[in-house]
Chain A
Amino acid sequence: EADIYQTPRYLVIGTGKKITLECSQTMGHDKMYWYQQDPGMELHLIHYSYGVNSTEKGDLSSESTVSRIRTEHFPLTLESARPSHTSQYLCASSDPRRTGGYYGYTFGSGTRLTVV
């Protein structure tokens, strides 16, 4: 049973629209991450957070922004969607202190975004 939830699962939206992709986890994890996954499968880290009011940009430059006002919530926002933003977006969380030193991630099911 998933402990990290992403909504919506699928989104088709027109160019120029503002969108927010939601990610929530019920595990109390401090660390959360957003990955962008291209059709060719490769995962690119675009944002991460180590706790409330902490956000950092990842390895891949992205026009999206994130916020972390509550531990359980890590939404991603695109102010003006473009076709180049079409991709799958995966959210993940981790907290080695709570998982016996396990440094792996728990992933949500993803949001598949299509900008037309």
Chain B
Amino acid sequence: AQSVTQLGSHVSVSEGALVLLRCNYSSSVPPYLFWYVQYPNQGLQLLLKYTSAATLVKGINGFEAEFKKSETSFHLTKPSAHMSDAAEYFCAVSESGANSKLTFGKGITLSVRP
């Protein structure tokens, strides 16, 4: 069975500071990993995905994530936070296979202070 752990429910950073949102996964087979962002009153939008190619994945809005198999981690980072980054962030894992489903973490709220 696959699972995702996102420690903490809220991260607050100053504008211009580094953003680090942690995600650890559990999967019995090589996983596909995703980060989604949700702005208020919206659905989820894909930020980036890891699908067994390069371990450092670049996404939209300056975000990137690194797949570390030894640590079973897929942490999301951005060098310099912007006010518009304030949102909810979800990590998700999927196993390959035609009928595999995404399993989501509980999500993290990112606040950006002026």
| Chain A residues close to B by CB (< 8 Å) | 6, 9, 31, 33, 40-43, 45, 48, 50, 90, 92, 96-97, 101-110, 112
Contact with A along B82-99 (1 / 0, CB 8 A): 000000101010101011
Interface Cβ pair total, 8 Å cutoff: 58
Q: Which of A45, A90, A107, A108 has most B Cβ within 10 Å?
A: A107
- Is the CB–CB distance between A43 and B51 below 8 Å? no
Is B67 an interface position by the 8 A CB rule? no
Q: CA of A106 to CA of B102 in the docked complex: distance in angstroms?
A: 12
Residue in A closest to B108 when the chains form the complex, CB atoms: A41
CB distance from B60 to the nearest CB of A (A): 13
Q: CA of A43 to CA of B41 in the docked complex: distance in angstroms?
A: 14
Q: CA of A50 to CA of B98 in the docked complex: distance in angstroms?
A: 10
State which of B34, B43, B100, B109 has its C-beta within 8 Å of the C-beta of A41: B109
- Is the CB–CB distance between A96 and B102 below 8 Å? no
